[in-house]
Amino acid sequence: MRPERPRRPGRHTKLFAIAFGLACGFASKGFSGSAPPEYATTAAGREIFSRPLPGLDPATKAQFDLGVSLFRQAWVIAPSVESPQTQGLGPLYNRLSCIACHVRNGRGVPPVGEEPARMMVVRFGPPLNMPQMDARGGPAPHPAYGAQFNPQAIPGVSSEGEATLIWQKQDVAYDDGTVVSLRRPHVAFHDLGYGPIDPDIPVSLRNAQPLIGLGLLEAVPDDFVLELARSQRKANSEVHGHPNYVWDEELQKIRMGRFGQKANQPSVKQQVAAAFVEDLGLTSSVYPHETCAAVQSACLARSSTRPELTDAQLDAVVLSMRAAAAPGRRKIDEDDVKRGEVLFQNIGCASCHAPSLPLGDDAPLPEPAERTIHPYTDLLLHDMGEGLADGRPDFQASGSEWRTAPLWGLGLPAESAERQNYLHDGRASSLEQAVLWHGGEARRAQEAFRALDKSSREALLSFINSL
């Protein structure tokens, strides 16, 4: 066990001072020193999202490695002679492994044509004539398909079907007349296994997101997040984020949410356990029941009666998620990047994409001595407008609200010459497109971006790419 670190005096005073500074703008400059911060990996290459925090002790590193191997593991249908320790896939599932969607711990790849959207999940709400919330205040499941569409099934159980995307194109013009083409996905279902899907129900398409720096984000104190929300309200602008409050399965109470694209999970552990049961059909001590809907009798009959994922396996994956480093910044001394950082601040991006957050005293991760991180998120929900809305509320997140996405590591796919897929459903194939989709509370910042001249826009994007 790691020795307990003594609590620091005046913690709350410091938090409020930093939050006040952020609200006033003077403390909101992100990391711009030449040395990478201690929590960031200095490694390079295509596996940069899979690197551990620097300085893990050997025992923690071994746990990290075990977690990474389980993250990569293709889980198998029970019973298995060859790999009984990784059996339990299904009865319904999306993929065989975590890595299948979180490619090298990063984003999924949306389909470009008519092939199935295999690296994405589709979440449902119930028909509008049914209660929209469950007993905990979360989204009620669809009566026939549950909360998430599962295209795969073990033998003897009907698959729920297949989802493909139809891309709707539209153009956006900058003030200087330059036109950018955007695309928006719509889901089409094939071979539905449990009856037709009502066109009126909420359907939320989600692309897998990078899993970096999660332990650091978990270590940001709730008080600080609340203070950011208060600061935004006091500023009396269009930006007025609020935290989500969600059900904690382990603590059996409502807590602040901070993980997931609607901040609908309170901890890394619950986020990981939810993904295992929803995406792979692997139950755990956190979620001991399969996700079969009431009408899916074959699924219910094949459900596991005890957790399929052991606590040791779950803990290892959780540790590997918590200890995954954030990438260090690149090109910070370039003039374009420096200029872009100023623009980022001036046009209002930093109002939600808060450059600096403090780590609390109870950080459940191998702790860096450095107490400030630079993820460029406020962990709050913001209304992002009709263009990005999915119409599916999730606890206190409305159908048009999303948690501010962290920006660290955002430029790395482009540096590796890989396909770029940003936003919750992967619709933006460049950072520029992602900015242009911002609406709602971010409308003014988006309009300010469109009003910039070409070199200023490029400078701003260079800055974001350097994060």
Partner 1 sequence: MLRHIVSRRLICCLIVLFFAFPAFAKTRIVVVTAYPEEVSTLFQRVFEAAHPDISVQIVWKQGRDAFAFLSAPDHGGADVYWAASSDNFPRLRDRGAFERLAIDRTALPGMIGKDRLSDPDDKFEAFEVAGYGLAFGPQALWRDKAPPKSWRDAASPDLPGPVLMPTASRIGFAPSLYDIILQGEGWEQGWALLSEISANAVLSTKANMMDAVEDGEAALAMTIDFIPLGAAANGHAIAFAYPARTAFLPAHVAKLAGAPQPQAAQAFIDFLLSQEGQRLLLAPDVNRHPVRPDAYPASVQDEANPFKAPASVVLVFDHALGGARRSLVATLFDVAIVERHDQIVRLWRRIHAAEKRLSAKPDAEAAARVAEARRLAGLVPVSAQEATNAVFLAGFDRRQDNAPSPLLASWRAQLDEAQAKAFDSLAEFADP
Name the site residues for partner 1 (rule: CB under 8 A): 43-48, 65, 69, 72, 74-77, 80-83, 89, 95-97, 99-100, 103-104, 109, 111-116, 118-119, 152, 155, 161-162, 164, 166, 168-173, 186-192, 196-199, 387
Pick between residue 223 and residue 447 the one whose CB is nearest to partner 1: 447
Which residues, 6 or more positions from 312, have their beta carbon under 8 angstroms from its beta carbon? none
Nearest distance from C-beta of residue 115 to partner 1, angstroms: 4
> What would the two tokens of residue 462 be?
């260079």
CB of 47 to partner 1, least distance (A): 4
Under 8 Å CB-to-CB from 74, ≥6 apart: which residues?
Answer: 86, 96, 97
C-beta of 171 vs 335, nearer to partner 1: 171
Tell me the closest approach of the beta carbon of residue 437 to partner 1, in angstroms.
10
Q: Least distance from C-beta 180 to partner 1, angstroms?
A: 11
CA distance 350 to 123: 30
Which of 66/140 has CB closer to partner 1?
66
- Closest approach, Cβ 276 to partner 1, in A, equals 15
By beta-carbon proximity to partner 1, the closer residue of 372 and 416 is 416
Structure tokens at 199: 């066109």
CA distance 247 to 143: 21
Closest CA to 230 of 31, 99, 380, 90: 380
Q: Which amino acid, one-letter code, is at 204?
A: S
Largest CA distance in the chain: 65
Q: How far is the CB of 61 from partner 1 (least distance, A)?
A: 8
Rounded-to-integer distance, Cα 223 and Cα 281, Å: 35
Quote the least distance from Cβ 340 to partner 1, whole Å. 24
Contacting residues for 192 by C-beta, under 8 A, at least 6 apart: 160, 161
- With CA atoms as reference, report the closest residue to 315 among 127, 36, 59, 26: 59
* CA dist list (Å): 337 to 347, 435, 451, 453: 15, 17, 19, 16
Return the number of the residue (66 or 235) whose C-beta is nearest partner 1: 66
Who contacts 13 (Cβ-Cβ below 8 Å, separation ≥6)? Answer: none
Nearer to partner 1, 175 or 453 (CB): 175
Rounded distance, CA 97 to CA 89, Å? 9
Q: Which CB atom, from 1 or from 179, has the smaller least distance to partner 1? A: 179
Whichever of 159 and 398 has its CB closer to partner 1, that residue is: 159
Minimum CB separation from partner 1 for residue 49, in Å? 11
> Reduced to 3 states, what is the DSSP secondary structure of residue 324?
strand
Distance CA 1, CA 290 (A): 33
